[in-house]
């Protein structure tokens, strides 16, 4: 699947939103849902997705969803910074397989970075320990303002 195609309601993030697949939740409000990436590229790698959306990527998203979604991304990114005190925060988003996209429900990556610590592999590193993810999620959630 790439830039063209239909939204697949069986994608893993849709299942997470419906409670049909597990996740380590960080935060949710009316518009967005944030959870820990299970193949993190750094400690604290968090994903933010729109709750009411069938956009596979950013280019497809309804304009009225974009505003609340980006506010949610900023809110969670600020909490990641406050909780983990990184030297930098990378925010990324991929559209189509050629760009690196592997899950086709729109999402933003919030990836804290530390000086001298290389970025882990995208969507292909080792699976994180669930208890460690839960502890990180709690730290981040505690800093949501």
Residue 53 CB partners (closer than 8 Å, separation 6+) = 61, 62, 65, 105, 106
Q: Is 65 in the site for ligand AMP (CB under 6 A)?
A: no
Which residue lies nearer to ligand AMP by CB, 38 or 69? 38
Among 32, 37, 44, 111, binds ligand AMP (CB under 6 A): 37
Query: Is 101 a binder of ligand AMP (CB under 6 A)?
Result: yes
Give the distance between the most distant pair of CA atoms in the chain. Answer: 41
At a CB cut-off of 8 Å and minimum separation 6, what does 68 contact?
Answer: 30, 31, 32, 50
First vs last Cα of the chain: how many Å apart?
Answer: 37
Residue 27 touches ligand AMP, criterion: CB under 6 A: no
Q: Among 39, 43, 70, 143, which residue interacts with ligand AMP (rule: CB under 6 A)? A: 39
Q: Which of 102, 119, 129, 130 binds ligand AMP (CB under 6 A)?
A: 102
107 is a catalytic site residue: yes
Query: What b/e sequence results for 114-136 when a residue is b if at least 16 CB atoms lie within 10 Å of its CB, and e otherwise?
Result: eeeeeebebeebeebeeeebeeb
Please say which residue, 26 or 38, places its beta carbon nearer to ligand AMP: 38
**Which residues, other chains included, contact 32 with Cβ-Cβ below 8 Å and sequence gap of 6+?**
48, 49, 50, 51, 68, 69, 72, 73, 76
Applying the rule CB under 6 A, the residues between 71 and 100 that interact with ligand AMP are 94, 100
Q: Find the binder of ligand AMP among 38, 55, 77, 137 (CB under 6 A).
A: 38
Q: Which residues bind ligand AMP (CB under 6 A)?
A: 12, 23, 37-39, 47, 94, 100-103, 123
Active site residues: 107
């Amino acid at each position: 699947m790439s830039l063209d195609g239909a939204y697949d309601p069986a994608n893993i993030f849709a299942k997470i939103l419906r409670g049909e697949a597990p996740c380590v939740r960080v935060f949710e409000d009316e518009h967005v849902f944030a959870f820990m990436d299970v193949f993190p590229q750094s400690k604290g790698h968090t994903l933010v997705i729109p709750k009411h959306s069938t956009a596979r990527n950013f280019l497809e998203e309804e304009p009225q969803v974009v505003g609340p979604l980006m506010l949610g991304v900023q809110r969670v990114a600020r909490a990641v910074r406050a909780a983990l005190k990184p030297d930098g925060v990378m925010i990324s988003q991929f559209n189509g397989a050629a760009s690196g996209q592997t899950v086709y429900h729109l999402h933003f990556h919030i990836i804290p970075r530390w000086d001298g610590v290389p970025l882990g592999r995208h969507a292909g590193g080792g699976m994180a320990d669930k208890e460690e993810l839960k502890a990180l999620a709690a730290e981040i959630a505690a800093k949501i303002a």
